[in-house]
Amino acid sequence: MTAPSVDTETRPPLGSEPRALSDREVADGFVSGDERCLAVAHARWHGLVHALAARTLGDAREAEDVGQQVFLAAWRGRAGYRPERGPFPGWLVGITRRKIADALAARTRRRDLVVAVGERLSPDGVSVQEPDRVVERLVVTGELAKLPAAQREVLAMAFYGDLTQVQIAERTGMPLGTVKSHARRGLDRMRRSLSETPGVRTATATAG
């Protein structure tokens, strides 16, 4: 009994790979919700997105975060892609630019928030009116909750009560030096927390 013959001409050569999808095929599959095309798109254009974000932001980790946001936004909004308006990579670049703008705006908000908290602790009690007041209060509330009780009490009275350090000392019965110490330490903790993104330089605010 002889072994069946194998037509070697019909077999793919060893080590061959499936045909690579064209950019248009990847885009069409992406828009239709094919998760395989999502994976291909990420592998093919993540480098482009990351390079653009890193060059603008100057920080690789923040650029990586932006890259994740870009592909998530693209996947959620894939129905909005129109091939007639331009190639798929160009569409991703447009989303990338918007996400970079969001990241830069967030930097500015963090920097302004640190300055605002410091100004509220100035000895003369002068405070600055900020535009995003609701956002500011939510963020500060979360940061205050992380502080030790004494620091939290002093900063909360300064921020929410618009009290000067002298007034806080009078209200609490603490020595003025103790109030200043709690304020300075608490503010330093908040500054470090709010400015934890590498490469972001925050303006220095003093506790007076």
Write the CATH number of the domain with boundaries 20-105.
Answer: 1.10.1740.10
Using alpha carbons, select from 88, 95, 107 the residue that is nearest to residue 40: 88
Is residue 182 within 8 A of residue 154, CB to CB? The reply is yes
Q: What's the chain's Rg over C-alpha atoms?
A: 28
Closest to 154 (Cα-Cα) out of 191, 180, 126, 116: 180
- Joined together, the tokens standing for residue 145 give 């909750």
* Domain pair 20-105 / 109-194, same fold: no
- Looking at mean pLDDT, say which of 12-16, 97-101, 102-106, 200-204 comes out highest: 97-101
pLDDT in tens, 19-61: 688 999 999 999 999 999 999 999 999 999 999 999 988 888 8
Bin 200: left if φ > 0, else alpha if -120 < ψ < 50, else beta. Answer: beta
Question: Whose CA is closest to 92, among 132, 58, 49?
Answer: 49
Residue 133 sits at φ, ψ, to 5 deg, of: -65, -40
Residue 146 gets which letter from DSSP? T
Instruction: Give yes or no for a contact between 122 and 208, defined as CB atoms under 8 angstroms apart.
Output: yes
**Token digits of residue 51:** 């390079």
Structure tokens at 183: 């304020």
Query: Which CATH number describes the domain made up of 109-194?
Result: 1.10.10.10
Task: Output the pLDDT for position 60.
Answer: 86
Number of neighbouring beta carbons within 10 Å of residue 179: 28
pLDDT tens sequence across 63-73: 999 999 999 99
Q: How far is CA 16 from the centre of its chain?
A: 42
The Cα 93–Cα 90 span in angstroms is 5
Instruction: Supply the pTM of this predicted model.
Output: 0.50
Place 182 in a pLDDT band, splitting at 50, 70 and 90. Answer: confident
In the chain, where the domains are located: 20-105, 109-194
